Structure formats: C-alpha cells, structure tokens
Amino acid sequence: MHLMTNRLTLCRPDDWHLHLRDGAMLAAVAPHSARLGRAIIMPNLVPPVVTGADAAAYRDRIRAALPAGAPLQPLMTLYLTETTDPADVVASHRDGIIAAVKLYPAGATTNSASGVRDFDRVRPVFEAMAAAGIPLCVHGEVTDPEVDIFDREAVFIDRVLDPIRRATPGLRVVMEHVTTREGVDYVRANDAIGATITTHHLVINRNAILAGGIRPHYYCLPVAKRETHRLALRAAATSGDPRFFSGTDSAPHPDRAKESACGCAGCFTAPNWLPIVAQVFEEEAALDRLEQFVSLNGATFYGYPANEDRITLVRRADPAGAPAEIRADQDRVTVFDPGFPLHWHVEDPA
C-alpha cells in the first residue's frame, strides 16, 4: 500500500485507553466509541472504580448507554489505591470483570486524589498481578513539585517505573499515553512492557497549547512536549513494533471546566480519532502498518484475538464531518480539532 491507496480494510479497531465518564456525560460520549471492538475503560470516576463490584456496576451502566447492537465490549479496570485488596483484583480478573489495573500517582491528573503515594504499600498487589498475568496500566508522571512538568515522564521512568519493574519481575506494564522520546526508548529496550500512544500526541506539540494564545482544548496530561518528542511518537506508532498501540485517552470535559482560569486536562478525540490517525499514517507513508497500531498490537499485548469483523476506510476529497462539539445535557464538549481537514471516512457494515 502506498500514498495512492484510497481504500483500506482493517480488522475492527480497539481503543486501549478511553474515558467514558458517567451519568449524562457517559450517555453523550458512549455512542462516539460504540463502533470500536473493545476499549480499556479508565476508572477515574468520582469516586473512583476501586473494587470488582464497582467495575461490574460501571460496566453495566456503560452497556446501558450504548446504542442497541453496538459492537463495543468495555474492558474494565480498577483504580489502584493503597488499600486495594490483592484478592479482589485476582478474583475480578479471574471472573472476567476486569482486564487490568490502573496506577495513578496521587495528584498526577484529573481525579487522581485517591492514587498511590507510597509505592511500597501496593507491592503485594503488584506481586499478585504478576503471578496472575494481570496488566498494570501506568500513568507515568511524578508529582514532585520540584520536577518541571515537561520532565515528569522521564523522571517517573527512573524513579518509579524501573524500580517497580525490577522489584516485580514478570509484571506486565502498559505505559499509558507515552509522550517522550525517553518513554519510547524505555519501551523499546524492555520486555513485558507496552505503550499506548494517543491521537493528539501524534498531532500536536506544546506550541499548540501556548503559542499565539493559550488554547485549553489542547491541554492534557501528560502535557504535549516539544517537536522532537512528537516525531519520536510518530516513528514509534508507525514502526509496526508490536509494543506500541493506539489508546486515544479521549477525555471529555465540559467546556466550562476547560475554558477557565484553572482549566482541567483532557482532549476529547473519540469522534474523529480514526480519520486523524489514518491521516498521520498516510503522511508517514505507513498506511500498511495502520492496522497493527489500531487493531492488532493492543489485542496481542492483552492476550485477545483480533476482532473478526472489519471496517473500511475510504479516502475522499470531501472532508469527513466530525462535529466541532457535542452536547451533554446543558454542557458543550469541544471535539479535538487536529488543525487540518480529514479525508479518511469510516465505512462500517455493523
């Protein structure tokens, strides 16, 4: 497949990092991810999803919010706290209620106040997970105020992630939303580790947030870094290396919460992520590896078969029509604008 390709058929894609929220926001955003095969659902609700029972109840609320017949299978996660019970984690995984556990350092990002402060206190959970083969999804940023926000991922690797992995051999780790060359290099150099790469980090660098005015809809965590890092992410995503896979980190917030003196972190990419990612792969002359990134590598890492059904992407002159915003009750939620027209249209027989 080359630049002239204008039609691509792929196994139905998955999303290995997705925020669907709850209540009115869940109802508004779930239809935009309904045509995925599977999605890893992040547990940072208020209060967070901490037990297997919480996860089962949240899964049922998600199913109820999906259109009838939607293919999406939500794969639930638990929010790791210092009081998480290893036996509940193992039982929930064995019973098919959860697919993974999410580690948020306390205070690192939106709704992470119940996260982990002392990593030694969760060592028994890590050991039980390693023994049972349960993946740990990691938000890889230190929260030390002395560390510059643009360095927090690289410092996390040295201070937290590498020590955890050395202390718990065999623990399968997903570095979520990797944003730096250091993160990409760490994943490449190690076994039993994978990484999600978001849509927006393939498209924007930090100038999008800060140059010529402050643009809150491009602010997310980990924050977008300088251009060299964006290029490293594009190289990793398009390389075909099976350890890198698509996780949108689609993170909807009401506009009033983002367009504020203290705007919150998160880009809402669910409605247009696939046309954007296809365009990125086209620009990198890597359309022949798109299916690995969006449909195959993540499933392999998590131990699932590829989805059996297929979707088709068609490149047309007319731009694909993702909405600029959606409504959730009284709220507006702005959709991520990549800054270029999208020409890849999704045709889905389902």
The minimum distance between CB 203 and ligand NCD, in angstroms, equals: 15
110 binds, among ligand NCD, Zn ion, none (CB under 5 to 8 A by kind): ligand NCD
How far is it, in rounded angstroms, from Cα 88 to Cα 94? 10
21 binds, among Zn ion, ligand NCD, none (CB under 5 to 8 A by kind): none
220 binds, among ligand NCD, Zn ion, none (CB under 5 to 8 A by kind): ligand NCD
The minimum distance between CB 159 and ligand NCD, in angstroms, equals: 18
92 binds, among Zn ion, ligand NCD, none (CB under 5 to 8 A by kind): none
Which two three-digit tokens encode residue 309? 């059904």
Question: Which residue shows structure tokens 């927090």?
Answer: 152
How far is it, in rounded angstroms, from Cα 254 to Cα 250? 13
Which of helix, strand or coil describes residue 44?
Answer: coil
Question: What is the contact surface with ligand NCD in residues (CB under 6 A)?
Answer: 19, 44, 109-111, 139, 220-221, 249, 251, 265-266
Strands in the chain per DSSP E: 7-11, 15-18, 38-41, 73-79, 98-103, 136-138, 173-175, 193-197, 244-246, 310-315, 325-328, 331-334, 344-347
**Cis peptide preceding 222, ω within 30 of 0:** yes
Select which of 22, 191, 249, 255 is catalytic: 249
Tell me the one-letter amino acid at 108. A
Tell me the one-letter amino acid at 103. L
In whole angstroms, what separates CA 132 from the centre of its chain?
23
The minimum distance between CB 113 and ligand NCD, in angstroms, equals: 12
How far is it, in rounded angstroms, from Cα 62 to Cα 23? 9
State which of residues 54, 249, 282, 291 lies at the interface with Zn ion (CB under 5 A).
249
Nearer to ligand NCD, 99 or 220 (CB): 220
Nearer to Zn ion, 249 or 291 (CB): 249
Is 120 among the residues known to form the active site? no
Nearer to ligand NCD, 103 or 220 (CB): 220
44 binds, among ligand NCD, Zn ion, none (CB under 5 to 8 A by kind): ligand NCD
Nearer to ligand NCD, 58 or 344 (CB): 58
How far is it, in rounded angstroms, from Cα 73 to Cα 51? 20
The minimum distance between CB 184 and Zn ion, in angstroms, equals: 18
